[in-house]
Structure 1
Amino acid sequence: MITHLIAAGVFSSTSEAAMTDLVTLNEAKLWLRVDGDDEDGTIALLIAAASDAVRDVATDWDGEGDAPDRLKLAVLARVAVAFDERTNVSPGTGELPMLTPLRKLEV
């Protein structure tokens, strides 16, 4: 489904966010053992989302220079889970960790 959205122009696999991704598309494809470019748009979207999620937690890293290996590994692990289990996520578990930091709490 994401691939169809990318093809329709809803998501871009080459967005400005790609400049701040913690791993490259090639690094992720090697990690996932994916050949060809059919899944590039989906993988790029997963990299961007995983990079944002890791950055939300790793607040002690200033973002300068190359990402530390442990941050890259965290992104690759998150991408792999999302890629492998994209149709096997229990409702309320897969999306909540990504959306919780964006919640607006009002008092």
Structure 2
Amino acid sequence: ACGWINIKPGRVGGLTNAVAIHDVCQQAGIPCWVGGMLESATGSAACVALAMLDNFTYPADIFPSARFYHQDLATPPLELVPDNQGCPSVVASNELPDPVPERLEQLTLQTATIG
């Protein structure tokens, strides 16, 4: 028996797999919720987009990256603001957070070329 499924896009191989899991759960009548994994603003924005699907009925486990990092790898930052009932909402934006190349270079510890 399964009461609900927590879907973490970073654990299941990305958004395509996360949406597929959502769809299977929806067909089986199993509600879902999105779980974050300490993502940058880019990853958090992907989680927010996923959480907007119909079968995500539980509150999402998504936090602004400022809670975990002194400086995000991406800009603009993901912002949450409380609504009139104190429930956090995502600030609407016309752009998705993109990694800043200079920040990536500054914070990269090691690289590898495959192939």
Give the structure with the higher percent strand.
Answer: 2
TM-score of the aligned structures, taking structure 2 as reference length? 0.24
Rg (Cα) greater in structure: 2
Give the structure with the higher percent helix.
Answer: 1
Larger RCO (CA under 8 A, 6+ residues apart): 1
